[in-house]
Amino acid sequence: MNTLAVVLEEPERLVLSRLPLPEPGEEDVVIDIEWSGISTGTERLLWLGRMPPFPGLGYPLVPGYESVGRIREAGLRSGARVGDRVFVPGARCYGDVRGLFGGASSRVVVPGAKAIPFEENLAERGVLLALAATAYHALNVGKSALPELVVGHGVLGRLLARLIVALGGDPVVWETNTRRAEGAAGYRVIDPAKDTTRGYASICDVSGDSKLLDTLISKLSPGGEIILAGFYSEPLSFAFPPAFMREARLRVAAEWKQDDLVAVRNLIETGALSLDGLITHREPATAASNAYRTAFTDPDCLKMILDWRSCS
């Protein structure tokens, strides 16, 4: 058994390659991937060769942690059902080719526990479950105050703002790109240069801009918190006195957990969280090289997905 997969051979060199797959075990499932998303955060850094040292990093590699597919085989102890449409957060089934994160492939073999069923009518929008879970994890729901300011109006920023609204908050979102400032759903988007507010109790940054901390600290109320929910390729630093005066707190939001995925799936299924309008570009998987370049260079591209349904 084999698969057609996106392989980053080295920075800015991407090909489609036929790779062998292992024989599935009793706890495994075989999934035919229908769609996979392209991340403009971590995957862009991998493509540029600017990804900081990270477990599993090295070339060649198969990227992708936002995949949706249908189970074609299920092991006796996998706990899964043949025919279910599932979300797959990546795979490591490519032998000598690294799976970081391994979801950009026409077929994968993964443990059944990694295949998360969801409602059929979500279809391609299911690729957004990873980012929705990332946003939910950053909010630290029930333990931290909901952010009053979100920095960045890409897909992750929009999901954060939508989740905050769904949970009863009233966020403001900063965005400098006038075209990206469009599309707000129940919250305000403003240019940071026009924001006269001071004293935000909680700020969530998803910009990935390592030089922004001093600006954000200046906007905090005493005892306020900054949540770093982007992915930063450069070291972060800040001037100590303003942070000292505000007794500022910094929190780094890490990878989402299974509970986060279940929580956002429930919010989506009840209608509290919408994934509409976030996928802006689509390409067949055979055009992967152009698709990745567009995803990383076109400011109008919020989310690019690859369609694997004609691949085998």
pLDDT in tens, 148-173: 999 999 999 999 999 999 999 999 99
Task: Decide: 218 and 241 in contact? Cβ < 8 Å.
Answer: no
Spatial separation of the C-alpha atoms in residues 92 and 116, rounded to whole Å = 17
| CATH of region 131-252 | 3.40.50.720
State how far the Cα of 134 lies from the Cα of 20, in Å rounded to an integer: 31
| Selection from 91, 117, 120, 112 nearest residue 103 by Cα | 91
Tell me whether strands 28-38 and 61-62 are parallel, antiparallel or unpaired.
unpaired
Integer-rounded Cα Rg, in Å, for the chain is: 20
Q: Where are the domains of the chain?
A: 2-117+280-307, 131-252
pTM assigned to the model: 0.94
As a whole number of angstroms, the distance between CA 236 and CA 12 comes to 26
The two three-digit tokens of residue 254, written as one number: 């890490």
**Cα–Cα dist 287/15, whole Å:** 10
Q: Please give the pLDDT value at position 312.
A: 65
Domain 2-117+280-307 - what CATH class?
Answer: alpha beta
Tokens at 10, concatenated: 């080295």
CB-based burial, 187-204: b 16+ in 10 Å, e otherwise = bebbebeeeeeeebebbb
Q: Can you list the residues of the chain whose pLDDT is less than 50?
A: none
